[in-house]
Structure 1
Amino acid sequence: MSYSGKIVVLITGANQGVGYETAKNLVQSSADYHVILGSRDSSKGEAAAQALQADGAKAKGTASSISLDVTDEASIAAAAERVAADFGRLDVLVNNAGIVSTASPPTARALRRVLETNVVGALAVTEAFLDLLRKAEHKPPRLVFVSSSMGSITHAADPASPYYNPHATEYRTSKAALNMLMTMYSARLKPEGFLVIGADPGLCATNFTGDAASLRNRGAAEPAEGGNRVATVIKGEKDANAGRVVGVYGVSPW
Structure 2
Amino acid sequence: MFHPEKTVVLITGANQGIGYETAKSLVHSSADYHVILGSRDISKGEAAAQTLLQAGAGDSVKATKGTASSVSLDVTDEVSIAAAVEHVAADFGRLDVLVNNAGIISTASPPTALALRRVLETNVVGALAVTEAFLNLLRKAEHRPPRLVFVSSSMGSITHAADPASPYYSPHGTEYRTSKAALNMLMTMYSARLKPEGVLVIGADPGLCATNFTGDAASLRNRGAAEPAEGGNRVAAVVKGERDVDAGKVVGVYGVSPW
The 10-residue stretch of structure 1 (57-66 or 3-12) with the greater mean CA deviation from structure 2 = 57-66
Could you say which residue in structure 1 is the equivalent of 2:132? 127
Letter in 1 for 2:90: A
- The answer as to 2:211 corresponding to 1:232 is no
* Residues 10, 90 of structure 1: 8 Å contact kept: yes
Could you say which residue in structure 2 is the equivalent of 1:203? 208
CA shift, 1:4, in A, is 1.1
Could you say which residue in structure 1 is the equivalent of 2:189? 184
Could you say which residue in structure 1 is the equivalent of 2:175? 170
Could you say which residue in structure 2 is the equivalent of 1:10? 10
How far does the alpha carbon of each residue in 1:75-100 deviate from its partner, in whole angstroms, 9 at most, with x for none?
Answer: 00000000000000000000000000
Structure 2 CA distance for aligned equivalents of residues 220 and 8 of structure 1: 30
Could you say which residue in structure 2 is the equivalent of 1:89? 94
Structure 2 CA distance for aligned equivalents of residues 3 and 120 of structure 1: 33
Could you say which residue in structure 2 is the equivalent of 1:155? 160
CA shift, 1:186, in A, is 0.1
Could you say which residue in structure 2 is the equivalent of 1:249? 254
From 139, 148, 151, give the equivalent of 1:146: 151
Letter in 1 for 2:108: A
From 61, 65, 74, give the equivalent of 1:69: 74
Normalising to structure 1: TM-score of the pair?
Answer: 0.99
Could you say which residue in structure 1 is the equivalent of 2:42? 42
Normalising to structure 2: TM-score of the pair?
Answer: 0.97
CA shift, 1:3, in A, is 2.8
Structure 2 CA distance for aligned equivalents of residues 90 and 2 of structure 1: 13
Could you say which residue in structure 2 is the equivalent of 1:194? 199
Segments of structure 2 that go 5 or more residues without pairing to the other structure are none
Could you say which residue in structure 1 is the equivalent of 2:30? 30
Letter in 2 for 1:225: E
Partner SS, residue 113 of structure 1: helix
CA shift, 1:103, in A, is 0.1
Partner SS, residue 117 of structure 1: helix
How far does the alpha carbon of each residue in 1:163-194 deviate from its partner, in whole angstroms, 9 at most, with x for none?
Answer: 11101000000000000000000000000000
Please provide the CA RMSD for this pair. 0.8
Runs of at least 4 residues of structure 1 off by over 3 A? none
Structure 2 CA distance for aligned equivalents of residues 104 and 153 of structure 1: 20
How far does the alpha carbon of each residue in 1:31-80 deviate from its partner, in whole angstroms, 9 at most, with x for none?
Answer: 01000000001000000000000022275000000000000000000000
- The answer as to 2:52 corresponding to 1:52 is yes
Structure 2 CA distance for aligned equivalents of residues 193 and 224 of structure 1: 30
Structure 2 CA distance for aligned equivalents of residues 211 and 14 of structure 1: 19
Could you say which residue in structure 1 is the equivalent of 2:109? 104
- The alignment-based identity, stated in percent, is 87
* Residues 2, 67 of structure 2: 8 Å contact kept: no
* Residues 3, 87 of structure 1: 8 Å contact kept: no
CA shift, 1:2, in A, is 4.7
* Residues 19, 227 of structure 1: 8 Å contact kept: yes
Segments of structure 1 that go 5 or more residues without pairing to the other structure are none
* Residues 28, 61 of structure 1: 8 Å contact kept: yes
Letter in 1 for 2:13: G
Letter in 2 for 1:229: R
